[in-house]
């Protein structure tokens, strides 16, 4: 009886930790996104291109208008991650 309850507790804990890791707020910005933006001809010299911080920390991220737009596009397109190619459609750079 003791062994099955400890197995159940271990399985429950593993399930909880797995769900927490999947559902916790993850930063969507990555260096590959910045690299793809540069390759596409956008002036993404550093993180400030989409963020308000020069080096965003995972739990303390704020986005500028471009970053907020990219996040909205990600949700609108039901995408897994932001695609740097979307920047060509960003209305804020057009004058």
Helices (H), 1-95: 2-23, 31-39, 65-76
Mark the ranges of the chain whose per-residue pLDDT is less than 50.
Answer: 17, 19-27
Nearest to 37 by CA among 75, 92, 83: 83
Q: Is residue 82 part of a domain?
A: yes
The string of pLDDT tens digits covering residues 67-86 is: 999 999 999 999 999 999 99
Q: Is residue 15 part of a domain?
A: no
Q: Is residue 50 part of a domain?
A: yes
Q: Is residue 66 part of a domain?
A: yes
Q: Is residue 19 part of a domain?
A: no
Q: Is residue 3 part of a domain?
A: no
pLDDT at 41: 93
What is the domain extent for residue 67?
25-93
pLDDT at 39: 93
Q: Is residue 7 part of a domain?
A: no
Nearest to 59 by CA among 27, 85, 11, 87: 27
The count of domains in the chain is: 1
């Amino acid at each position: 009886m003791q062994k099955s309850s400890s197995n159940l507790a271990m399985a429950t804990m593993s399930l909880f930790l797995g769900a927490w890791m999947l559902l916790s707020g993850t930063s969507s910005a990555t260096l590959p996104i910045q690299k793809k933006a540069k390759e596409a001809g956008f002036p993404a010299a550093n993180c400030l291109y989409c963020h308000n911080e020069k080096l965003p920390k995972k739990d303390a991220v704020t986005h500028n208008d471009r970053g907020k737009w990219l996040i909205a596009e990600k949700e609108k397109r039901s995408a897994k991650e932001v695609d740097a190619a979307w920047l060509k459609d960003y209305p804020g750079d057009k004058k």
